[in-house]
Amino acid sequence: MTRPPLPLTVLFAMIVSTTACDSGILGEESSCPEDEPSTETSSQTRDIYVVQAEYEDALDEEGVLSADACMALCKAYWQDDVDSFSITDCTDVTVDAAEPMLSCEADVTRWLCEGRAHEAVGRQERVWGPTAEARWLARATHAEASSVGAFLTLARELEAHDAPQDLIDRARAAAMDEIAHGQTLGALAREAGGRCQPLVFGDTPERSLEALAIENAVEACVGETWSALVASWQAIHAPSEELRSTFSKIASDETRHAELARDLHAWAMDRLDADAQGRVHAAAEAAWDRLVAHLHGFDGPTSLGLPEPDQALALVGALRAAVA
């Protein structure tokens, strides 16, 4: 992983302005990757309570819930998340007829609208909302809020590892940025009817510099840098002036956070031996692979200015080539 020759602000502007994968945004056709990446599906199982009246309406004449009816209920009740999903199995596990419950299994593809994660910050990423836009905003609000704790905890860890004061101060400043992001996106989410489960915070772990460097490489050098690029795209392509202004401010802040991640990465790698450096690099490459797999074929809420799936793949390919 090398530092790009240009500041990320300039690099993002170049990538966004030149990415028009089969969309005609630039008035001409540009090429998409010809080889489709292999998808990495995440299988999830949830026990879901169903409204008794709806459950009883779905029973057949013999009082049995057929496989098709079970799958249909799972699909209806699973729609509480912004993820793209496909129900693969359903089992009626009802014990009390007054509280019917289904065990639903689905293949899930995440749309990453992530803030910075940290081992001490647990995420309960279940979100609700009447539309994909509401659910995306709720999940983004949750991610931004979790980043506040992540950055504050990171600052304490950096102090414990005798990091330069500049890195510590920038981590704390980033936490303040994330508070503002959470407030802004939270207002938009509430207006759209979106909500999410509360955050869970744990104790600050005592971790090695290598563990910290791996998390920084995965969560920030890959994840947060990607989020900054997406926000830069939204700042141009969101349909309203309000949204463009919102994402322009978020993009500016997140780009600064991504620069912090690169500087933290360089500082940590200088202090690790060759074997540890190799493990950090491998973790980052795996994170890029997961990101590409997650983005493949996802149909996100473009009404918020998000890129189409082919545009997202072109964007992430250009970003990875420039910074990985």
Phi and psi angles of residue 158, each rounded to the nearest 5 degrees, phi first: -60, -40
pLDDT of 296 higher than 60: yes
What CA–CA distances, in Å, run from 154 to 168, 192, 215, 270? 8, 32, 10, 19
Distance CA 249, CA 187 (A): 15
Question: Which of 200-209, 287-296, 309-318 has the largest mean confidence?
Answer: 309-318
pLDDT of 289 higher than 50: yes
Question: What sign has the CA pseudo-torsion 93, 99, 100, 103?
Answer: negative
What average pLDDT does range 203-212 have in this prediction? 85
Tell me which DSSP letter residue 219 carries.
Answer: I
pLDDT in tens, 43-92: 678 888 888 999 999 999 999 999 999 999 988 877 544 455 778 899 99
Distance CA 287, CA 281 (A): 10
Q: Are 149 and 118 in contact (CB under 8 A)?
A: yes
Q: What token pair was written down for 319? A: 């970003």
What CA–CA distances, in Å, run from 110 to 283, 295, 296? 19, 8, 10
pLDDT in tens, 6-38: 677 777 777 776 664 333 333 333 333 333 333
Between 293 and 231, residue with greater pLDDT: 231
pLDDT of 225 higher than 60: yes
Q: Are 242 and 202 in contact (CB under 8 A)?
A: no
